[in-house]
Structure 1
Amino acid sequence: MSTPEFVLALREKIGHAPLWLSGVTGVVVRDADASDPEILLVRRADNGAWTPVTGIIDPGEHPADAMVREVAEETGIEATPVRLARVGVTRPGVYPNGDQVQFIDLTFRLAWRSGEPHPADGENTDARWCPVSELPALDDDMQARVDAALADDERTAFFTGGELVR
């Protein structure tokens, strides 16, 4: 799925003005007890970057439910939320059409339940398992999300002003 209907309806009212949205990132882990567990990555159709699954929370939707839904919609994988790993805020962004946006991001660690990954909804050109030791280059923010999800620390990482606060 591309832009959610509720965002399109808001855009009709506010045009390209900045829009604050709630988003989720899911770091799905398979074989968590192995010496080199695997995480689920997708190659985004819009920019070609490899990332964990990301998405927008629908109005009234629980964030963990949104993450499970996004993983299933984008990759066909069934996963179970394990914990909220990180709360962060993205940099402001501008889409090619001029829409301005910024996200509060809730990064979850999820456990794989079933399925083999494939690009299921057109948002991605590829989906695959990747051993943690062989991760492709991720941008700094995505790497921080993955690191928080894989950390042994069960506490949620909060970032304020670019600094980690526990």
Structure 2
Amino acid sequence: MATPDFVLELRRHLGTRPLSFVGVTAVILRGDEVLLGRRSDNGALTPITGIVDPGEEPADAACREALEEAGVRIRADRLAWVHQIPRITYDNGDQADYLDLTFRCTWLEGEPYPADGEMTEVGWRRLDDLGDLSDEQRTRIRVALAEDGGARFEGGA
């Protein structure tokens, strides 16, 4: 599902005004590989991402998105990074601010495939061969790979 029903309902009332969402990034690891997919809306190569549903635990959202988008079961091992993504304005004029929670995750089972149409392709990439991944997405993976075990937070006083 590309846009959750609760977002569509909000948009019915608020139009294209900026909305704030909690998003998740699942950096899914299998040995020396990471699971990446090519988004169907803009062609960008990314880890699995999605929006946390109302009342949903963020780690559960990461696991749900992995199953929905790539057909794989994962375990969310730890929160790696909390950061605000700059405002996005979509082609239809909708504006959104995302607080992204990046999780380091472990692949448990399933062969990845573009399960729900949000990705045109999904597959394993060696960590030393990430191709045309954006700097932002490379940073999410790098932070998730850090072995210090603590979550990284942006800002703060």
TM range (shorter): over 0.9
The correspondence for 2:130, drawn from 135, 158, 161, is 135
The correspondence for 1:92, drawn from 77, 87, 91, is 87
Map of 2:9 onto structure 1:
9
Shift of 1:143: 1.3
Shift of 1:137: 2.4
The correspondence for 1:107, drawn from 83, 92, 102, is 102
SS in 2 for 1:10: helix
TM-score under structure 1 normalisation?
Answer: 0.92
Residue 9 of structure 2 aligns with an amino acid whose one-letter code is A
CA shift digits 1:66-112 (9 cap, x unpaired): 00000000001110011000001101011111101110000001101
Residue 4 of structure 1 aligns with an amino acid whose one-letter code is P
Are the counterparts in 1 of residues 28 and 107 from structure 2 also a CA contact under 8 Å?
yes
Residue 8 of structure 1 aligns with an amino acid whose one-letter code is L
TM-score under structure 2 normalisation?
Answer: 0.97
CA distance in structure 1 between the aligned counterparts of 2:88 and 2:111, rounded to whole angstroms: 32
Map of 2:47 onto structure 1:
52
What percent identity do the matched residue pairs reach?
A: 50
Aligned length: 157
CA distance in structure 2 between the aligned counterparts of 1:138 and 1:117, rounded to whole angstroms: 18
Shift of 1:153: 1.4
Map of 1:22 onto structure 2:
22
CA shift digits 1:25-76 (9 cap, x unpaired): 0000002xxxxx0000001111111100000000000000000000000001
Are the counterparts in 1 of residues 45 and 134 from structure 2 also a CA contact under 8 Å?
no
Residue 136 of structure 1 aligns with an amino acid whose one-letter code is G
CA distance in structure 1 between the aligned counterparts of 2:5 and 2:55, rounded to whole angstroms: 14
Structure 1 spans left out of the alignment, 5+ residues: 32-36
Shift of 1:24: 0.2
CA shift digits 1:11-33 (9 cap, x unpaired): 111111010011000000002xx
Structure 2 spans left out of the alignment, 5+ residues: none
The ranges of structure 1 where at least 4 consecutive aligned residues each deviate by more than 3 angstroms after the TM superposition are none
CA distance in structure 2 between the aligned counterparts of 1:130 and 1:139, rounded to whole angstroms: 14
Structure 1 range deviating more: 132-141 or 53-62:
132-141
